[in-house]
A = this chain, B = another copy of it.
Amino acid sequence: MMHRMDRSVYMDYAATTPVDPRVTDAMLPYLTEHFGNPNSLYTLGRDAYRALESARESIAAGVGAQPQELVFTGCGTESDNSALIGISQMAAERKSRRHIVVSAFEHHAVLHPAEWLAKNGFDLTIVSPRADGVVHPGDLRAALRDDTALVSVMAANNEIGTIQPLAELAEAAHERGALFHTDAVQALGKIPFDVSEVGVDAASFSAHKIYGPKGAGVLYLKKGTPFRPLLMGGGQEFKKRSGTQNVAGAVAFAKALELMLAEQADEAERLSALRDRVVGGVLDGIANTRLNGTGPKLPGYANLIMLGCEGESMLLQLDSKGIAVSTGSACSSGSLEPSHVLLAIGCPAEEAHGSLRVTLGRFTTDEDVDRFLEVLPPIVERLRSMNPLYERMYGA
């Protein structure tokens, strides 16, 4: 029997979030009473259709888009894949542009389709973020070509939380006639984000990062953006994504975003303060620790390095005390290479293995932070004492 704490402390909001009870309440009727297919003509179907469309309007208003510019998808990954493949292939067909650019620390949902395109007729350039965790517009400019079809840089990084200068990046792309997509899965609702202000052509979102359900995504496609659908069939979603729409998921997404926006300013302040306590507590309280990424960050995000510890061990030890965090250590993923994000910002592999990603959210309390700061130091100490190299590498 494992010794477990009564109180569990969730600090991995970047991985996923619980569905907010207000969101569950909003979506439930669309599973049960209002279960109609939104493509059906009778009352039950039209009710579902109206719910779907008002969810679309509400999300559109929330991100500064027109309702017809939003496509409901099955997840953030589908939004990313559709944007990368659908836009690039159509831009290639229409304008013979066959070059794409992505940043090195994109989520794999962007990187892998980009690599797939590179094997299927496209040239791919990968731009590195700098050590601050930011893709610098000048670096993007240097990567652009006259035949660049699409640039994809995320709005905020999922591991280190750094916010990207989207408006400048999009402008750089547009100067060369390229389209610009951003993976805004992590940024949505946490910081102001308006597609028309930043001037992106496409953006990806996912419900389960903002207290909505898993399996509900949105793709913003600016009017007129060349696109071919990834999923073909019944022609739903303005023929841009076939498949019976997940009405409950769409309603949930809209409600979740509405709550994020209503609470954004307060939450940003509250979570930044909590994050500062986490970071301060770790850096001041534990020797040989440091913070990754110096650029501006999403509220509540901290990526910390505990030199001489391995991430998965820390994670499991914290879990046995009821604390949930994640790590960029390779071992947690079953591969051997540590997080491509940390490597991309120049973090040496041996340090990246000792990373902890701590991401706070709606239900994080001061007591959670207290508990984390109480539990972590002895774990780090114990693991370091078991590390045959610790004294040699990091000893005083």
Contacts and interface: CB of A to CB of B under 8 A. Distances in A.
Interface stretch (A53-61, A168-176, A232-240, A280-288): A232-240
Interface string A199-229: 0000000101000011110000000000000
Contacts of A73: 74
A379 to B, nearest CB: 13
Contacts of A323: 42
Interface residues of A, number: 71
A331 B108 CA distance: 43
A75 interface: yes
A51 to B, nearest CB: 12
A349 interface: no
A36 to B, nearest CB: 7
A102 to B, nearest CB: 13
A314 to B, nearest CB: 11
Contact of A233 (B15, B19, B80, B246): B80
Given A108-B232, A242-B108, A243-B78, A214 B16 contact: no
Contacts of A40: 12, 15-16, 324, 326
A316 B45 CA distance: 12
Interface string A221-263: 0000000001111110000001111111100000000000000
A238 to B, nearest CB: 12
B318 A246 contact: no
A35 B214 CA distance: 9
A78 B216 CA distance: 14
Interface stretch (A24-32, A265-273, A291-299): A24-32
A269 B41 CA distance: 30
A109 B242 contact: yes
Interface in A317-338: 318-319, 322-326, 332
A49 to B, nearest CB: 12
Nearest to A315: B41
A50 interface: no
A107 interface: yes
B35 A112 contact: no
A249 B108 contact: no
A108 B77 contact: no
A1 B316 CA distance: 62
A103 to B, nearest CB: 15
Interface of A: 4, 8, 10, 12, 15-19, 21, 24, 28, 31-33, 35-37, 39-45, 73-78, 80-81, 107-110, 112-113, 116, 206, 208, 213-216, 230-235, 242-249, 312, 315-316, 318-319, 322-326, 332
